Chains A and B, each alone.
Chain A
């Protein structure tokens, strides 16, 4: 081992090594730095042992703690659920109208329902529940295809419309293109287009479409176009036209009807979530008492 030699020029010691007369100053790494490095090595080894991170061709080492990110998510979700259990249990035990009566439960249901709505319903009905003209009905107006009372809304969300669920809302409007002549369709469309105008209540009776309507449409849509909610037959005597207003739009709908469908949400989200959604939708301004 070479000896450290004092170098008077720099005032430091040398390593004592000499190559062709060239010497190196002895400037070791600071002690604290070396200790830190060693500690971080130790931490890295412990970490690698505790957590997953060593893949092989056939399996991956799972780590001594058995930690997974999915497991952590499940844990946190379970924790969140247990924190909500007090409210969730009450929601599960009570009917939707009872939930609405209770100030506390109502607030909880509306808050939870808003989150659920944005995740599950907003894709079709819009984030503000305003629907989409020609596609999906607005949930904030006062026109309801299947009923706007809280129990009706709950039923519709839980079981959906025109799907495989045995309790889903079912109905079908026939395609009148096969039953009526084009002239009759044009006539009934003209008649239907006047239904929402009260000032034409008398004059419309003379229209040629009146008889066609009475024979073919009134059974479901009502004699005066008031609609029938049991059938999901929309009210025609109002200003809200999901598939477009005016003669042409109505004629298209008569000839080749479009009918919405909606999945059943109870199997997907659970009963308490559907209840919260119902309370939320019912609070949006169109809810009927």
Chain B
């Protein structure tokens, strides 16, 4: 009987299993993955080197300036008060992730997750070294480790370069004048990259990552996932066992209607010859033929591997394919399912979250004010009596603006007849201050004559306008405290 002759995979399993590097696959999934990996790595490594002219000087286009608490993204500048935008972005990103997952399974894991991208890069390095020096060469292992470390250092350096101008970073690090945080960041990122991408690799996905744990909550029965078409593949046996006659005339889309399944027959095999290619090419080392599982990151490399084998056997593609999940007991009815519906409740709910958070973020971004101003009444003392009996209240004004378009700001008071405004740094009769700095604090003094001073506390509004264009910048609600009244 053929079942007593071990298949390739069974033979492999009796020996020690393969080491870390999975077999290379080739096909459209591999091509897509290579393209995406290259693009994302390129994006990561090149972005900090892009320059942008800011305030007349060449500066790094994308940089998080932690000491100054600024985030620059090309022409845009974000300040700490913009943090709600980040919240919106995170909600939008999460909803997008869920949305895509509901349609296509864990393509994020398979193609774009940094763990996947870096692991794929390291797999690529390992394969080339193995080809050149052989799998057991000590020299090859040494070169591998050196290259792993080099990539880890470059990764860490680039990461640090998102926070400190990368064109100066190398020199600063070498001469020891870089901030301590730069060395820490370099060390930590080197360590994590080296350990996670060179050593732990898929174990991160299998044992550490929380994302696979709730994939079942995100998928539905019509999600496209990587599936082994067991109606076609089983029973598995070596290639010399004759193929089930009912499979001779199938296409890629499922069995023909008039078709009977020869279940329980030992005399024939299905399309799966148990070559083990799908397992050996899997980055997480799972057997997709066991069905949808936590370890499947949806990269489709097993599809490529299997299709290559099908070509060799002169059988149609699609023994493993991107399809809806197969039930445990395959039947003709479920196998020949119609195409998945586009409009389904789960992804549509995620889409609505995307729509709401995305549009809220867009509106917030469009209406973002370039000015941030606050006014604080100096309550100690509540008011100052001047020589001529007039009453003065003092306020601490903090003013910041992003743009370069404000030259001078005028400060006026509404709601207080006879009030005169003065600034501690300016003697000008019409109060204004020059914003040569983008952030400043100023003492604003509002004085009213003795006889028009209010009793107790009255609300007033301090108005900031651009001095030349008269454009309103901010209206700050505060109060004015006069003598008498409750103190």
Residues of A within 8 A of B (CB): 126-128, 130-131, 138, 140-143, 196, 235, 238-240, 283-286, 289
Contacts of A126 in B (CB 8 A): 380-381
List residues of chain A with CB within 8 A of the CB of B380. 126-128, 130
Complex Cα distance, B380 from A141, in Å, reads 13
Closest to A141 in B: B384
Q: Determine the chain A residues whose CB is within 8 A of the CB of B416 once the complex forms.
A: none
**Nearest Cβ in chain A — how far from B294, in angstroms?**
31
In the bound complex, residues from chain A placing their C-beta under 8 Å from that of B387 are 141-143, 235, 238-240
Partner of B384, one of A127, A130, A283: A130
B443 engages A284 (CB within 8 Å) = yes
Residues of A within 8 A of B389 (CB): 196, 238-239
Cα distance, A131 to B381, chains bound together (Å): 8
Interface residues of B in 379-395 (CB under 8 A from A): 379-381, 384-389, 392, 394
Chain A min CB distance to B138 (Å): 34
Report how far A127 CA is from B387 CA in the complex, Å: 21
Q: Which residues of chain B have C-beta atoms less than 8 A from A127's C-beta?
A: 380
CA distance A83 to B48 in the complex (A): 32
For this complex, 26 residue pairs linking A to B, each with C-beta atoms less than 8 Å apart, are A128-B378, A128-B379, A128-B380, A130-B380, A138-B384, A140-B384, A140-B394, A141-B384, A141-B392, A142-B386, A142-B387, A143-B386, A235-B387, A238-B388, A239-B450, A240-B385, A283-B424, A283-B443, A284-B424, A284-B443, A285-B384, A285-B394, A285-B422, A285-B424, A285-B443, A285-B445
**For the complex, would chain A's binding face be called helix, strand, loop or mixed by DSSP majority?**
loop
Among candidates B386, B427, B443, residue contacting A141 with C-beta atoms closer than 8 Å: B386
B381: which of A128, A142, A143 is its contact (CB, 8 Å)?
A128
Give B406-432 as 1s and 0s: 1 = Cβ < 8 Å from A's Cβ atoms. Answer: 000000000000000010110100000
Shortest beta-carbon distance from A244 to chain B in Å? 13
Contact between chains at B381 and A138 (CB < 8 Å) = yes
Residues of B within 8 A of A (CB): 378-381, 384-389, 392, 394, 422, 424-425, 427, 443, 445, 450
Contacts A130-B384, A143-B387 given; 16 further ones with Cβ under 8 A?
A: A126-B381, A138-B384, A140-B381, A141-B384, A141-B385, A142-B386, A143-B386, A239-B386, A239-B387, A239-B389, A239-B450, A240-B385, A240-B387, A285-B424, A285-B443, A289-B427
Docked pose: A140 CA to B424 CA in angstroms: 11
- A238 to B390 Cα, complex, angstroms: 11
Q: What is the CA–CA distance of A284 and B395 in the complex, to the nearest angstrom? A: 11
Residue among B379, B422, B443, B450 having the largest count of chain A Cβ atoms under 10 Å: B443
Min Cβ gap B169→A in Å is: 24
> A158 CA to B458 CA in the complex, in Å?
40
Question: Which of chain A's residues have a CB closer than 8 A to the CB of B379?
Answer: 128
Distance between A284 CB and nearest chain B CB, rounded to angstroms: 7
> How far apart are the CA atoms of A289 and B425 in the complex, in Å?
11
The 5 closest A-B pairs by CB, nearest first: A130-B381, A128-B380, A239-B389, A238-B387, A143-B387
Q: Are A239 and B388 in contact (CB under 8 A)?
A: yes
Closest beta carbon of chain B to A94's beta carbon, Å: 18
